[in-house]
Homo-oligomer: A and B are copies of this chain.
């Protein structure tokens, strides 16, 4: 048919071109581990990314080759987010908190040719060298002691280059899941999936980014596409504030000094943040929007933020969903709700925005569709423009023919479409043919003033198949005992959910992203004998 609109490939380099052209002076601030601060802006970041494109070409890197980073949040790390894809390469952000064997596995699996790392991780790099012979080039972001320094490496170039062009379906980035439930798996984002995720996430219902926004992503750049922040901020020309260290007092000072409007972090970050305010007697800094995800957001934290007039964005997603799939945005009835009801809403994992779809199916057959009635819980499935189809280097799709991807999470869906996460499929406890939510047991247990952390797991039972036990970290100095906790739970959960035993431990095992590792706990309590 004659007649047409223009047709440009959706490439992430278009975002930095826009930011440099329309918001070139908008700053990118970094607070470095040594306490110093530096400033650059979108125009400079683009120029540095183009220099990196030249530097990668000089090393002989080809389109689709993997360029890895092992680094905290800072402006040089941001440069690589555009420099690697700008050369047609795939940026592979690595989580330095993974264990050595996991690190070796994913670097070799990804076939990384270049590794750019923070000097603070030199010990890791030294241990990895023998494990990862495929890495041809090491570059250090902030030192020239053991490898060429990043600034020198790109400083040899003039930035007079063009981005590598190509199809919007080309791969752009590789992130591995955090390994909470198994070996990390690689998710390969395309330029297109990242661009559509970006256009959705900047929307008012989602992260509400605009040129006036000033964003402090405490969520690490190595985790889950950094929640899309480097893309969304460039798309809107927002200011970015980074800290190489996550010390709450430094973060608080940064928020005030740089007039941060948006702060994004996992719940433990928020927890530390509020604790710091308590300890120092400081007021809540005047942020406009607090964004959380990655784990359940405790009601007490949500409420406290909202009481201070902060908008709360509680998102659910996973590496496999780029990562934002749902967010607890304000619905049509929002203004008619009481404050408590509003807090309740924000505790939910939220609703999809255009571009994603969710449903729940039976945990037994993973097929039977379940109603969105707010009580029935089932296996949560998702599909959409930025949901995974197939893991990196696997031979089979991870989603079914209709695109449904099994998230491994267990949820109920409310009639309005809100998702309430209740568990992970691997963690639910099956007792007498019925499912017990480990998360709900844990949430109830941490309500006890002397319980710092709690984990519920199922142990084998001759009659009931599985019965729950609760493993608890008591507060230092308290003399709470297991029976106290059990008593405390008695009026909070169904009687048949009551754990058969409560064990006290001094600490729980955690994964590289700070989630409780139930996998390890289950190994630890494999031969546990239930009291009769």
Most chain B CB within a 10 A radius of its CB, from A186, A204, A353: A204
Cβ–Cβ contact A6 & B332, under 8 A? no
- Identify which of A126-134, A208-216, A421-429, A439-447 touches chain B: A208-216
Could you say how many copies of this chain the assembly holds?
2
Check if A290 is an interface residue, CB within 8 A of chain B.
no
Question: What B residues does A7 contact at CB under 8 A?
Answer: 169, 192, 389
Check if A3 is an interface residue, CB within 8 A of chain B.
yes
Question: What B residues does A199 contact at CB under 8 A?
Answer: 196, 199-200, 203, 354
Minimum Cβ distance to chain B for residue A169 (Å): 7
0/1 interface trace, chain A 264-291, chain B, CB 8 Å (1 if under): 0000000000000000000000000000
> Which of B3, B203, B385 is within 8 Å of A393, CB to CB?
B3
Minimum Cβ distance to chain B for residue A18 (Å): 5
Check if A500 is an interface residue, CB within 8 A of chain B.
no
0/1 interface trace, chain A 309-348, chain B, CB 8 Å (1 if under): 0000000000000100000011110110000000000000
Complex Cα–Cα for A392 and B394 (A): 45
> Which of B5, B190, B383, B392 is within 8 Å of A388, CB to CB?
B5
Check if A137 is an interface residue, CB within 8 A of chain B.
no
> Which of B2, B4, B21, B186 is within 8 Å of A190, CB to CB?
B4
Complex Cα–Cα for A392 and B5 (A): 10
Check if A40 is an interface residue, CB within 8 A of chain B.
no
- How many residues does chain A have at the interface if contact means C-beta atoms less than 8 Å apart? 71
Cβ–Cβ contact B212 & A208, under 8 A? no
A5 touching B389 in the complex, CB below 8 Å, given contacts A14-B354, A354-B18: yes
Cβ–Cβ contact B204 & A394, under 8 A? no
> Which of B5, B14, B22, B392 is within 8 Å of A193, CB to CB?
B5
Check if A237 is an interface residue, CB within 8 A of chain B.
yes
Check if A189 is an interface residue, CB within 8 A of chain B.
yes
Cβ–Cβ contact A203 & B202, under 8 A? yes
Cβ–Cβ contact A394 & B3, under 8 A? yes
State which residues 136-180 of A face B: CB under 8 Å: 169, 171, 174
Check if A417 is an interface residue, CB within 8 A of chain B.
yes
A1 touching B171 in the complex, CB below 8 Å, given contacts A236-B205, A236-B354: yes
Residue of B nearest to A351 (CB): B22
Interface pairs (14), CB distance under 8 Å: A1-B188, A4-B188, A5-B188, A5-B388, A6-B384, A6-B388, A8-B384, A18-B354, A21-B357, A22-B352, A202-B203, A203-B203, A204-B210, A212-B331
3 nearest CB pairs, A to B: A3-B188, A3-B392, A5-B193
Inter-chain pairs besides A5-B192, A5-B193, A7-B169, 14 sampled, C-beta below 8 Å:
A1-B188, A2-B395, A4-B188, A4-B388, A5-B388, A5-B389, A6-B386, A6-B387, A21-B357, A203-B236, A210-B330, A211-B332, A212-B335, A236-B354
